[in-house]
Amino acid sequence: MPIPDFQSIMLPLLTHIADGDQYKMNDVIEALTEKFNLSEDEKKEMLPSGQSFLFANRAGWARTYLKKAGLIESQTRSFISITKRGSDVLKKKPEKISVKFLKSFPEFVEFHSSKKEENALNIAVEEINNETPEETLENSYLKIRKDLAQEIINKVVSLPPNFFEKLVVELLVKMGYGGSLKDAGKAIGKSGDEGIDGTIKEDKLGLDIIYIQAKRWTPGNIIGRPELHKFVGALAGQGAKKGIFITTSTFTKEAREYIPRNETKIVLIDGETLSQYMIDYNIGVALQQSYEVKKIDNDYFEIE
């Protein structure tokens, strides 16, 4: 079954601690993974940022919402227990505990919204949104990043080939290859011999050389396996073992699965990967806004 959303976790969580004992939150999460029959892969699934496990994050937000509504409490760090209000709720045998359900408690309303009054549209959106605040934030960030990546590729394709060569130089140097921009600039875009557009040092000491093929093709012009055969042949002609094939377009499935029979190693960088690298290494992009997401430091509040 799919990983349940945080609202679907609320009632099972409250039911699990219904006996009034204190429960360690990690043990509760483990028990809930069994209740929902999560596979090992589902247990290990991460948020887009890779900073925390998806189910544990959702269970954590379910705990937070229940606590803000006064249904559970935490008298000891990392432990939770049900309150009298929580027990009263379970006696009514609700089919589900959701954000809409919790809004019957004034403490939760105060926590959930800074506004005294909410319009009907906002309420409807909140009640059907099954994402935790972190998921909403991260998914919105990924959407912005995806749109930016596409905008970058469209811009690169519209500019002259020598601009693409300059871009490749700057990116590879930012990634730690080629030594200096001056050295790298002498190497890229100068050769063109047998399908090789240039070379770059693997490290600042120049202990090894990487050969480069750069194709500024439109996204619809897909690069197939024959192009890679030519590149590998060109590498062999130079006695080279390492190559990078960079394009603003994409590779066919056969091209991606191609592995040279000799010891030659080639790395494929398509338009999507290229644009993501440009964002990561701040090539052609500028910082517009920065947000820090923080969480409570329980150690600070620990009484010795």
CATH number reported for the structural domain that contains residue 181 in this entry: 3.40.1350.10
In the chain, the number of structural domains is 2
| Mean pLDDT calculated for residue range 52-59 | 93
193 shares a domain with 108: no
17 shares a domain with 120: yes
* Range from 105-114, 156-165, 178-187 that averages highest in pLDDT: 156-165
Q: 53 falls in which pLDDT band (50, 70, 90)? A: very high
Residue 293 lies inside a defined structural domain of this protein: no
Closest CA to 238 of 268, 211, 203, 266: 211
The boundaries of the domain holding residue 219 are: 151-280
266 shares a domain with 158: yes
- How far is CA 184 from each of CA 106, 113, 165, 222, 271, rounded to the nearest angstrom? 64, 54, 11, 28, 21
168 shares a domain with 268: yes
155 shares a domain with 125: no
Indicate if the pLDDT at residue 256 is higher than 80.
yes
Closest CA to 11 of 54, 63, 53, 57: 63
Residue 138 lies inside a defined structural domain of this protein: no
Are the CB atoms for 200 and 182 separated by under 8 Å?
no
114 shares a domain with 194: no
270 shares a domain with 199: yes
Residue 260 lies inside a defined structural domain of this protein: yes
126 shares a domain with 48: yes
State the CATH number of the domain containing residue 15.
Answer: 1.10.10
Sign, CA torsion 88/94/98/100: negative
163 shares a domain with 43: no
Bigger pLDDT: 223 vs 301:
223
Are the CB atoms for 69 and 108 separated by under 8 Å?
yes
Residue 292 lies inside a defined structural domain of this protein: no
Q: 166 falls in which pLDDT band (50, 70, 90)? A: confident
Residue type, 222: I
| Mean pLDDT calculated for residue range 97-109 | 93
Q: 117 falls in which pLDDT band (50, 70, 90)? A: very low
Indicate if the pLDDT at residue 95 is higher than 50.
yes
How far is the C-alpha of 299 from the C-alpha of 58, rounded, in Å? 23
| Mean pLDDT calculated for residue range 44-57 | 88
Residue 295 lies inside a defined structural domain of this protein: no
124 shares a domain with 156: no
155 shares a domain with 231: yes
